[in-house]
Chain A
Amino acid sequence: MHVSVSDENAEREPAAQQVSAFLERRREQIAQRWADAMLFRTVFTVSRDEAVEAGRSVAAALAAVAATGRLDDIRAPGFAAVRDQLGRMAAARVRRGIGADGLADEVAALREPVTDQLRGEFPDPYAPEAQECVLALTVLMGTLRLVVLDTTVSAGEELIARQREQLHEVATPVIKLWESTVAVPLIGTLDSARSQVVMENLLDAIVAERARYAILDITGVPTVDTLVAQHLMKTVAAARLMGAECIVSGIRPAIAQTIVHLGIDLGTVLTRASLADALAYALSRQGVEIAPVRMADAGAR
């Protein structure tokens, strides 16, 4: 019972065509049976008609793939038509807490209704021709399973890319700029958790550096809404309680206009347009003056 690879391929071609014709012919019955399967039933909860409609388009896509004979190719163009739909269905299941393994089981459960239906098409379901077709259909359904999992993997990759972007927003070092002057360059989104970290780091640095002046630079904060403003004001108030004067710098023109329209009153907070202005203020308050070196001295070096 030895079948060479070329023989196998030669025989599978017509089987694939038969499967394609079968999927076209029985699309309605298959869609009806799939509509009761877990995957469709739990995604399309509002109307059974939607589930049947979705089943029809999946069956049509499988027929298109089978017609090209690329039964085990997850990149077969026939799948493109339903990739988005399958992706949405998979995402809906994953949101409900179904893992990739559960999803794989649910897609696998779609196989039996179709293979049963296909067997019923043959007078003798155990004839070699029937077996050949069922095998081809089984391969095709396995590929469908891979396509569904592939869509969830791509969705996961998207999520990771998004989270990586958010991770860039996390680092918040406190920098000593001068004797008793520290600065925090804030970069990214200032949510409650991060503003808590910023506040703790800043207060620690005020103690460690015996800082009298603390500069919060928001040049790198893209959006200053009421929550961000509230966090800033709380941080300023806390720093003030520690005996440090706080300066908020890096207020860009667009941010300034937005704050005014929002109606946020920053009257109690000392602000400067740039970090340089804030540092100059802190230095002047300490009696430090930065002046250009006289030309004669500079030339002597």
Chain B
Amino acid sequence: MRASRHAAPTSLPIGSDADLAWVRQQVRQTAAELGFGLVQQTKLVTAASELARNTLVHGGGGHVEITPLDTGPSPGLRLTFVDAGPGIRDLDQAMTDGYTSGGGLGLGLSGAKRLVHEFDVDSRPGEGTTVTVTAWATVVPPARPGSR
């Protein structure tokens, strides 16, 4: 359990409000260790908070995998939120600013997407939802194949 956090993904349960606080703390700590700046840290932690709450409230709980990416040109952090809940019926609608199914502000998913560099939702009705986000410590995106 106390093995090096780098390169090895950490899995945390999301089953209560206390778990949300724990997820935020772990994401912040891991991001800081990878050399994320304060703004990047805050953005990623906020996105993690939104997505973890979605996992808890809409997905009925699940877990998050925190994977440090330190092999590329810039260190990054990938967060994978997994639940086995009802799934998102209309993804386009769910991604729309202001649309809410739970009395919130309706900015959770769309806002989280704007806070990270890569964002992917895989949702199957009745089976669950997996949201994967990736943020890089430096704003320069990884070189695309073929450029330069």
Counting chain B residues whose Cβ lies within 8 A of the other chain, the interface size class is 20 to 34
Q: Is the CB of B114 within 8 A of A262?
A: yes
Residues in A with CB closer than 8 Å to B25 are: 165
Of A84, A222, A261, the contact of B24 (CB 8 Å cutoff): A222
Q: Is the CB of B105 within 8 A of A226?
A: yes
Complexed CA–CA distance, A255 and B24 (Å): 15
Of B1, B39, B53, B114, the contact of A253 (CB 8 Å cutoff): B39
Find the A residue at minimum CB distance from B108.
A226
Find the A residue at minimum CB distance from B15.
A95
Q: Beyond A84-B1, A166-B18, A261-B111, is A227–B24 a contact (Cβ under 8 Å)? A: no
Q: Is the CB of B18 within 8 A of A258?
A: no
Against A, the Cβ 8 Å flags (1 = close, 0 = not) of B41-68 are: 1110110011001000000000000000
| A-B contact number at CB 8 A | 72
Q: Is the CB of B41 within 8 A of A226?
A: no
Q: Is the CB of B43 within 8 A of A257?
A: yes
| B132 lies within 8 A of chain A by Cβ | no
Which B17-36 residues have a C-beta within 8 angstroms of A?
A: 17-18, 20-22, 24-25, 28
Q: Is the CB of A223 within 8 A of B104?
A: no
Residues in A with CB closer than 8 Å to B91 are: none
Q: With both chains docked as a complex, state the minimum distance between the C-beta of B2 and any C-beta of chain A, in angstroms.
A: 10
| A117 lies within 8 A of chain B by Cβ | no
| A135 lies within 8 A of chain B by Cβ | no
Of A223, A255, A261, A264, the contact of B49 (CB 8 Å cutoff): A223
| B97 lies within 8 A of chain A by Cβ | yes
- Chain B contact residues, majority secondary structure: helix
| A263 lies within 8 A of chain B by Cβ | yes
Of A84, A162, A223, A263, the contact of B114 (CB 8 Å cutoff): A263
Q: Is the CB of B50 within 8 A of A254?
A: no
Residues in B with CB closer than 8 Å to A262 are: 46, 50, 107, 111-112, 114-115
| A53 lies within 8 A of chain B by Cβ | no
Q: Is the CB of B111 within 8 A of A254?
A: no
| B10 lies within 8 A of chain A by Cβ | no
Q: With both chains docked as a complex, state the minimum distance between the C-beta of A250 and any C-beta of chain B, in angstroms.
A: 14
Q: Is the CB of A230 within 8 A of B46?
A: no
| B110 lies within 8 A of chain A by Cβ | yes
| A139 lies within 8 A of chain B by Cβ | no
Find the B residue at minimum CB distance from A255.
B42
Residues in B with CB closer than 8 Å to A191 are: 17, 20
Q: Is the CB of B53 within 8 A of A227?
A: yes
Report B's interface with A, CB cutoff 8 A.
Answer: 1, 17-18, 20-22, 24-25, 28, 38-39, 41-43, 45-46, 49-50, 53, 97, 104-105, 107-108, 110-112, 114-115
Known: A258-B39, A261-B111. 10 other contacts (CB 8 A): A163-B18, A166-B18, A166-B21, A189-B24, A225-B49, A225-B108, A253-B39, A261-B43, A261-B114, A263-B114
8 A-B pairs with C-beta separation under 8 A: A162-B18, A162-B22, A222-B24, A225-B108, A254-B42, A257-B39, A257-B43, A258-B39
